[in-house]
């Protein structure tokens, strides 16, 4: 598959997203494990932008179109607020994935079911976005 967006443009879009959402992306202050995790999430997002599956809207929000679901609409990840974090409280302590999906649902104005039915390749992109927001 050929890229629809040049690598440099995709990386600039990632930086615009990070700045607009006030994400902590300074790798110079991260330990090695945090830096590896950050690089993994960033690379997933940049790859999604390069493929055309994701754009960053005028507000700096990532807008993702799942690629492995029939008739999938776009999913906009809004900057999380306290209510998005409180979505985790409705899950049991041991339900880590459920907590993540509930929070992602709150961030996107959808539900946890949106993500539970998603194929792993698409889900990894969505989880990368959420991880950067929650990091």
SS3 of 94, please?
A: coil
Span 34-70, pLDDT tens digits: 999 999 999 999 999 999 999 999 999 999 999 998 8
List the structure tokens of 135.
């990091």
Identify whether the C-beta of residue 114 lies closer than 8 Å to the C-beta of residue 34. Answer: no
Span 1-38, pLDDT tens digits: 679 999 999 999 999 999 999 999 999 999 999 999 99
The answer to whether residue 90 is domain-embedded is yes
Identify whether the C-beta of residue 130 lies closer than 8 Å to the C-beta of residue 107. Answer: yes
Query: Number of structural domains, the chain?
Result: 1
The answer to whether residue 102 is domain-embedded is yes
| Structural domain range at position 78 | 7-134
- Give the pLDDT confidence score for residue 72 in this predicted structure: 79
- Give the pLDDT confidence score for residue 71 in this predicted structure: 79
User: CB burial class (10 A; 0-12, 13-18, 19+) of residue 110?
Assistant: middle
How far apart, in whole angstroms, are the C-alpha atoms of residue 65 and residue 83?
24
Span 66-120, pLDDT tens digits: 999 887 799 999 999 988 878 777 767 777 888 899 999 999 999 999 999 999 9
The answer to whether residue 75 is domain-embedded is yes
Please list, in sequence order, all residues whose beta carbon lies within 8 angstroms of the beta carbon of residue 1, skipping any fewer than 6 positions away: 51
How far apart, in whole angstroms, are the C-alpha atoms of residue 130 and residue 29?
21
- Give the pLDDT confidence score for residue 15 in this predicted structure: 97
Can you give the pTM of this predicted structure? Answer: 0.91
How far apart, in whole angstroms, are the C-alpha atoms of residue 50 and residue 58?
18
The answer to whether residue 2 is domain-embedded is no
More confident of the two residues 99 and 132: 132
The answer to whether residue 1 is domain-embedded is no
When pLDDT is averaged across residues 124-128 and rounded to a whole number, the result is: 97
């Amino acid at each position: 598959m050929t890229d629809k967006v040049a690598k440099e443009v995709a990386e600039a879009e990632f930086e615009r997203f990070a700045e607009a959402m006030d994400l902590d992306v300074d790798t110079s202050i991260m330990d090695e494990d945090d830096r590896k995790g950050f690089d993994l999430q960033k690379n997933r997002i940049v790859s999604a932008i390069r493929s055309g599956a994701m754009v960053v809207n005028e507000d700096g929000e990532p807008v993702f179109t799942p690629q492995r679901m029939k008739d999938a609409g776009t999913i906009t990840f809004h900057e999380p607020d306290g209510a998005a974090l409180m979505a985790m409280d409705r899950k049991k302590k041991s339900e880590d994935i459920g907590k993540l999906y509930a929070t992602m649902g709150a961030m996107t104005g959808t539900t946890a079911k949106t993500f539970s039915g998603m194929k792993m390749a698409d889900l990894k992109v969505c989880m990368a976005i959420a991880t950067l927001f929650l990091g």
